[in-house]
């Protein structure tokens, strides 16, 4: 088939709605408007290197990393159990596992607000059994909890699908050759599951580092991640130039970590650029 032309409307569309907007962001990030005069300047990026903003970036990365580690620690055993051959009704369990993901993610985050509230269900329960109340709503802990809750399936599913594909004879061979179960795990199962682990880490870290909703709802108003900072610059402060610079920083952060991760993924199917 030589019908290249049918994709031209799409290419035009993507030029207008993907490439041009990104160029606009770059343009805004590189200019400042002073008294009606727009000129090129690196002031927006300089502003980003002020300690308060660097701190915001570091906090975003830090919280996203913690959530990723927790997701991996919780998700890997789960994926292993689900993939193990003794587990019956696998498909049903997987369906049950992804079902909450189909609910609007704002509602899932909101659900934690109601649970963690000072007079919420968890605290009512704790006071019932005479334990001190848990006051973590509007703190770092609540934000990390929200991230783990929302992104755990993104860690489990890729690991599960890789583990399912491991040839059971490879494991049996290792056992026949005298490896105990720890050695089998460390030398056979884990190395073979690495592609799944890598894509799980990518799929949890990316949305976690760029979120502004979870931090806004569970972290309260005073709490700021880089996503919140971008949102504020555009919607409340109105400093589009600084907001654009922040967006570029976030984009570079995401695309670079993705490129770094993609090196470890064997069956990565994408363009060659990222």
Partner 1 sequence: MVKNFLKKFYIFLVFLFLYAPIIVLIIFSFNNSKSRGHWDGLTLKWYIQLFQDPQILKTIYYTLAVAVLSSLVATIFGTAAALGIDSMTRFRKTVVMNITYLPVLNPDIVTGVSLMLLFVFVNIKLGFISLLLAHITFNIPYVILSVLPKLKQLNKHLYEAALDLGATPFYAFKKVILPEIIPGVITGALLAFTLSVDDFVISFFTTGSGVSNLSIYIYSMARRGINPEINALSTLMFVSVLLLLIVVDRRMSRDKMKGENRA
Give the footprint of partner 1 on residues 19-58 (CB under 8 A).
19-22, 24-25, 28
1 makes contact with partner 1 (CB under 8 A): yes
Is 114 a binder of partner 1 (CB under 8 A)? yes
Applying the rule CB under 8 A, the residues between 56 and 75 that interact with partner 1 are: 74
Q: Which is nearer to partner 1, 127 or 183 (CB)?
A: 127
The CA angle 157-202-115, to the nearest 5 degrees, is 65
Binding of residue 216 to partner 1 (CB under 8 A): yes
Which of 82, 143, 162, 174 is the binder for partner 1 (CB under 8 A)?
A: 82
Write down the least CB distance from residue 274 to partner 1, Å.
6
Query: Which CB, 51 or 267, lies closer to partner 1?
Result: 267
Contact flags string 131-170 toward partner 1, x per CB under 8 A:
------------------x--x------------------
Q: Is the dihedral of CA 124, 128, 133, 139 positive or negative?
A: negative
Q: How many CB atoms lie within 10 A of CB 179?
A: 16
Measured from the CB atom, is 117 or 175 closer to partner 1? 117
Residue 79 or 197: the one with the smaller Cβ distance to partner 1 is 79
Subset of 176-215 contacting partner 1 (CB under 8 A): 206-207, 210, 212-213
Torsion 127-132-135-140 (CA) sign: negative
Q: Which of 131, 255, 260, 268 binds partner 1 (CB under 8 A)?
A: 255
Span of 44-52, 114-122, 171-179, 191-199 interacting with partner 1 by CB under 8 A: 114-122
């Amino acid at each position: 088939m030589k019908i290249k032309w049918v994709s031209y409307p799409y290419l035009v569309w993507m030029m207008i709605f993907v490439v041009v907007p990104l160029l606009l962001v770059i343009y805004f990030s590189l200019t400042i408007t002073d008294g009606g005069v727009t000129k090129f300047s690196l002031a927006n990026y300089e502003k980003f290197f002020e300690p308060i903003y660097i701190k915001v970036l570091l906090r975003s990365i830090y919280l996203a990393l913690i959530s990723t580690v927790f997701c991996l620690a919780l998700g890997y055993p789960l994926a292993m159990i689900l993939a193990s051959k003794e587990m019956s009704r696998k498909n049903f369990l997987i369906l049950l596992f992804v079902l909450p993901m189909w609910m609007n993610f704002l509602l899932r985050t909101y659900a934690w607000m109601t649970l963690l509230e000072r007079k919420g269900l968890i605290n009512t329960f704790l006071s019932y059994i005479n334990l001190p109340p848990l006051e973590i709503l509007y703190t770092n802990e609540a934000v990390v909890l929200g991230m783990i809750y929302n992104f755990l399936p993104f860690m489990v599913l890729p690991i599960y699908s890789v583990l399912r594909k491991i040839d059971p004879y490879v494991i049996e061979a290792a056992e026949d050759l005298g490896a105990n179960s720890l050695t089998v795990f460390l030398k056979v199962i884990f190395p073979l599951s690495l592609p799944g682990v890598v894509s799980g880490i990518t799929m949890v870290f990316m949305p976690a580092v760029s979120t502004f909703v979870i931090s806004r709802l569970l972290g309260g108003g005073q709490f700021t991640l880089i996503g919140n900072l971008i949102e504020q610059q555009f919607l409340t402060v109105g400093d589009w130039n600084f907001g654009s610079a922040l967006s570029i920083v976030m984009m570079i952060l995401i695309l670079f970590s993705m490129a770094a991760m993609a090196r470890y993924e064997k069956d990565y199917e994408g363009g060659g650029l990222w």
